[in-house]
Amino acid sequence: MFSEHISDKLDRYKYDVVSNPFGILYNPSSLALSLDRIARLDYYGADELVLHDGLYHSMDHHGAFSGKNKEEVIAKINLSIQQANAHLKKSKVICISPGTAKVYRYLRTAAIAGNCHKIPQPHFTYETLTLSQCIEAFEHTLVSIGKLASAARIIWTVSPVRHTRDGLVENQRSKSTMILAIEEIIRNHPQTGYFPAYEIMMDQLRDYRYYARDLIHPSPVAVDIIWDIFCDAYIDPQERVHHAAIEKINRAMEHRALHDDPEAIRSFAKGQLKNIDQMASLFPELNWQKERQYFFQYLDND
């Protein structure tokens, strides 16, 4: 979930982003498997799906890929693999954010599941990856990335989302295992780097007011603070200057008119289209189609 918060921020400011091609994954083993299949364009077959509660699921994917039609599920999964493969080949920066060393192993296949899809507990064993298993999974992840984007900058981070199923002590042990594994990876691959999202949440933002109501996920304020620190670390200050102008257009799209005056609404839309044209002249490489379509809808009566 945390990786999606950051990718949503990047997308909001028009960076070319692909986030979680298999959906949200948490453990190092599932992350390694997903990147391996993407790198090899290893498409899924219908025999790899599991039927439960009237839906077909991939045990390697998030439930967002599940569906009632087997062919549609496979098509959606394989299209995502194809798109991720193409995107990785042109990627300059890749962020990897595991969340837990705890895993569920699906007894039918003996494979670690990326998602359990609410299949009953007796169908799984519950395990904790060792430090060496995490290191091995991260090494495999780097090998897969190297096949597609050998020059890309790799940023490791441990998700600050707390996995409290087994209590806070086990959560800390799990996070610590991943931090130590990433430390070893960076020692062996010094060209990769580490962003301390988890440490920022635990230390700088340790007050519960920085958590959502579930006391597990970071609150929007916490995400904004971590995003600002991320920007300071990795985004050129000259690029950040333009974030404010892009944000004004985003806020205008989120604006809700307080009255039904058609002329005032059209005038507002025309002003925003002018702002978009100015931004497009400064950044012709960016795609402004979504923004233009949004405001053009208010000019239909012209």
Please choose, from the candidates 34, 97, 99, 32, the residue with its C-alpha nearest in 3D space to the C-alpha of residue 60.
34
pLDDT computed for residue 31 by the predictor: 97
pLDDT band at 180; cut points 50, 70, 90 = very high
**Which one, of 141, 136, 127, lies nearest residue 181 by Cα?**
136
Top-ranked range on mean pLDDT: pick from 3-17, 116-130, 229-243: 116-130
Domain regions of the chain by residue span? 2-235, 238-302
Element (H, E) at 112: strand 111-113
Q: Assess contact for 78 and 95: CB atoms under 8 A.
A: no
Of 149 and 264, the structure prediction assigns the larger pLDDT to 149
pLDDT digits (tens, 9 = 90+) for 221-269: 999 999 999 999 999 888 887 888 888 888 888 877 656 778 888 888 8
Return the SS3 of 99: coil
Segment 57-69 shows an average pLDDT of 97
202 vs 261 pLDDT, higher one: 202
Domain 2-235 has CATH 1.10.3120: no
pTM of the model: 0.88
